[in-house]
Amino acid sequence: MATSPLARCLDSTNLRLDATDADLHTLCIDAREHGFAAVMLYPAGVFRAAEALAGSPVHVGTVIGFPHGRTSTAAKEAEIRAVAAAGVHEVDIVMNYSDLREGRRSAVAAEFARLGAVARELRLLTKVIVETCFLDREQKLAALASCEDAGIDFIKTSTGFGTAGATVDDVKLFADRRRGSIRIKAAGGIKTLAQARALISAGAARLGTSNAVALVLEEAGAASTTSGY
């Protein structure tokens, strides 16, 4: 099956609390078939995912400090080192957004700098989840600036466990106000092709979704209808 441009933007995600080994194996098989950018799963599943995706261009990604971000920097660093040894390629790190909301921006910046350096040492791609639903505009821009200052690869909107997920407005805010080449990952509540296309048009380079297969099938169906087949 040919890989579509949309598929190459998708991080196919299973962070359900009741996910089984069989569910995660299916996640990896589907990712191989459709050519997704990455699979995203909890750290305990990384080793099995790396085995299932060996020889595939699909990356294995996992979450760090998820979903609250309120573990210590040392604990997050230990998680990153452990999953790197297990075969991960990408880490989605939850910011301690409580620190940012309470005005402790220097603590946030210091954590980003430390974890970004560790990830680069281990040759891992970094995405920082800032949980936009709990931040005001000024705080969102502060999070963006701190990510850029630390050399983070992606700023990511949401865990999917907050009160709201990705919005076009938040993606556009990050896209318009970034100073350099940091990329944007939208995640949380992405269920339709129209949503996916709108977020990409606003500036998202990756989409995190548990509906990845449904999205590419919807895209294929829309293409068939348009072409008359």
- The torsion defined by the Cα of 67, 72, 78 and 83, in degrees rounded to 10, comes to 10
Both tokens assigned to 181: 């080449």
The one catalytic residue in 92, 99, 153, 170 is 92
76 catalytic residue (yes or no): no
R_g over Cα of the chain: 17
The DSSP code for 68 is T
Between CA 32 and CA 53 the distance in angstroms is 7
209: phi then psi, degrees, rounded to nearest 5 = -155, 145
Return the pLDDT at 228. Answer: 44
Both tokens assigned to 58: 């699909």
The candidate with the shortest Cα–Cα distance to 64, out of 38, 48, 47, 41, is 41
The one catalytic residue in 76, 127, 140, 156 is 156
pLDDT along the chain (229 residues), means of 10: 87 98 98 98 98 97 98 98 98 98 97 98 98 98 98 98 97 98 98 98 98 96 58
pLDDT in tens, 62-103: 999 999 999 999 999 999 999 999 999 999 999 999 999 999
Return the pLDDT at 3. Answer: 80
pLDDT in tens, 184-204: 999 999 999 999 999 999 999
What's the first-to-final CA gap in the chain, in angstroms?
Answer: 17
Answering whether pTM is above 0.85, one says yes
In Å, the largest CA–CA distance within the chain is 57
191 catalytic residue (yes or no): no
Residue 156: how many CB atoms within 10 A of its CB? 30
185 catalytic residue (yes or no): yes
Domains of the chain with bracketed CATH = 7-227 (3.20.20.70)
